[in-house]
Amino acid sequence: MRKSESQTAARVHLRPGFVWDTQDAYLFDIDGTLLRDPDRIHFDAFASSVKRVTGFEIALAGVAIHGSTDTAILREAWLQAGMPAEILDQQLTAILDVMGSTVAERRNEMHLVRMPGVEDALRHLAARGALLGVATGNLEMIGWIKVEQAGLREWFRFGGFSDRFPSRPELIGNAALKARELAGTAASVCVVGDTPRDIAAAHANNLPVIAVATGHYSYDQLLEHQPEACATSLADLLVAAQVDQ
């Protein structure tokens, strides 16, 4: 089991020449990066929505969840249950709609926890004129619900979600296009995430990435994937920046 943030020594690595807080736009992952969702409301919505729409049963045990997307998780769980892909294709839109409405109906039961330093980091970047967006594997309705319930909605002007993009590299690429539509075609765009898949998706789109070890993966595990910046938390990244000034 990973050590808790309070038990983990603060560590920060910056690639030489990369200044983490001078990018024009930032794409923040949600789960594990902005917040922690200790409830099973979103998690349980996969199986309950499939059951409600199709009558079939799926389970997420054995499915690679961390750094994946809702649409990819759903498909992997479906195929793991041994059901034909064409049935899912026919029912996918209905299942996703039910997932969104299920979470929306239970939004007030969520007890979301902000990750260390999140609001301070968002305030710091916004004060420097950066455009802030989310780029998450969540469905759009679910992603915005989490951000709103965590009290962070005011910071974000746009988002990229998995409704139409089961592949995280495609999702990140689409979100980067949105960022440049708002910030200018030459805008520098940086991804902020907590998994190796976030790092790989950013690099697949030639984007720098800030990796934070506030999710499932440790600092050392993330550093192996060569992010431009790596920190035990956004709070630690901010402290390191203040020390360097």
Q: Which two tokens stand for residue 191?
A: 């991804």
* Number of helical H runs and strand E runs in the chain: 9, 9
**Per-residue pLDDT reduced to its tens digit, 164-206:** 999 999 999 999 999 999 999 999 999 999 999 999 999 999 9
Tell me, what's the pLDDT at 8?
Answer: 66
User: Going from the N-terminus, what domains does the chain have, and what CATH number goes with each?
Assistant: 11-38+111-244 (3.40.50.1000), 41-109 (1.10.150)
What are residue 23's phi and psi, to 5 degrees?
-75, 155
Instruction: State the average pLDDT for the chain.
Output: 93
Instruction: Collect all residues with Cβ–Cβ distance below 8 Å to 37 and sequence separation of at least 6.
Output: 31, 110, 112, 113, 146
Instruction: Collect all residues with Cβ–Cβ distance below 8 Å to 25 and sequence separation of at least 6.
Output: 130, 131, 132, 133, 176, 179, 180, 182, 183, 187, 188, 189, 190
**Per-residue pLDDT reduced to its tens digit, 199-209:** 999 999 999 99
Tell me, what's the pLDDT at 111?
Answer: 93
Tell me, what's the pLDDT at 244?
Answer: 59
Whole-model pTM? 0.93
